[in-house]
């Protein structure tokens, strides 16, 4: 009888060890197999956040040493404070850039924008349009405006219209006045008929 108890005890101990090993393996597999899509996680967190400030029909004037540098217009603005602070323009923005003499030198608009306050980068999305002082126009779907480096850039497809030409390319970088720019991968130049 004692031998039977001893055998049963060993079997139960062995089952406990097997259960522990299986449970540990399950937990490890679960932890490493669950991948979090950062974009989905960001969207979920954004849905849970509430803006601390909400404004409508906004017009901001950015100045440097008392001189107007940019004018930003937006029908709706939200400011969020959380892990990262940002300002959202859910109905789009219009940005006018001025030179030292106060003359308008460029114009940008988009359907949506977000300004990240930590790195001073504005991300504009949806029918992004830029125009400079000599009438050159850029169209793309996404562009980044880096205020610190005073650069505008994108890796998206761009279309630039200028003096009888349509230039299509991929990737773009410019100063904030859109007066000195580079297209990274030019796909082609189309001559436009100015008469029509």
Q: Can you give the residue ranges of every domain in the chain? A: 2-34, 40-191
The pTM is what? 0.69
Contact 133, 177 (CB under 8 A): yes
Q: At which residue do the structure tokens 């849970």 appear?
A: 48
Confidence band for 14, pLDDT divided at 50, 70 and 90: very low
What is d(CA 103, CA 70) in angstroms, rounded to the nearest whole number?
11
User: What is the pLDDT averaged over residues 143-152?
Assistant: 93
Q: If you ran DSSP here, which 8-state letter would residue 119 be given?
A: T
Residues of the chain with pLDDT > 70: what percent? 73
Contact 106, 132 (CB under 8 A): yes
Query: Which helix (H) or strand (E) segment is 46 a member of?
Result: helix 38-48
CATH number assigned to the domain with residue range 40-191, chosen from the 4 options 3.40.50.1820, 3.40.50.880, 2.60.450.10, 1.10.760.10: 2.60.450.10
User: What is the pLDDT averaged over residues 2-22?
Assistant: 48
């Amino acid at each position: 009888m004692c031998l039977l108890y001893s055998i049963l005890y060993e079997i139960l101990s062995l089952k406990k060890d097997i259960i522990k090993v299986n449970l540990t393996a399950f937990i490890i597999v679960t932890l490493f197999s669950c991948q979090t899509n950062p974009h989905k996680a960001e969207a979920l967190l954004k849905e849970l956040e509430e803006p601390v400030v909400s404004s409508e029909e906004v017009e901001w004037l950015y100045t440097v040493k008392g001189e107007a540098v940019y004018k930003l217009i937006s029908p709706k603005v939200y400011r969020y404070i959380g892990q990262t602070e940002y300002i959202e323009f859910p109905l789009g923005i219009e940005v006018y850039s001025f030179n030292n003499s106060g003359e308008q030198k460029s114009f940008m608009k988009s359907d949506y924008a977000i300004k990240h306050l930590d790195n001073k980068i504005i991300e504009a999305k949806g029918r992004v349009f830029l125009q400079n002082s000599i009438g050159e126009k850029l169209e793309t779907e996404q562009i980044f405006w880096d205020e610190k480096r005073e650069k505008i850039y994108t890796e998206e497809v761009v279309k630039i219209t200028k003096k009888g030409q349509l230039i299509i390319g991929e990737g773009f970088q410019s100063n904030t006045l859109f007066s000195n720019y580079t297209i990274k991968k030019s796909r082609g130049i189309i001559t436009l008929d100015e008469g029509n």
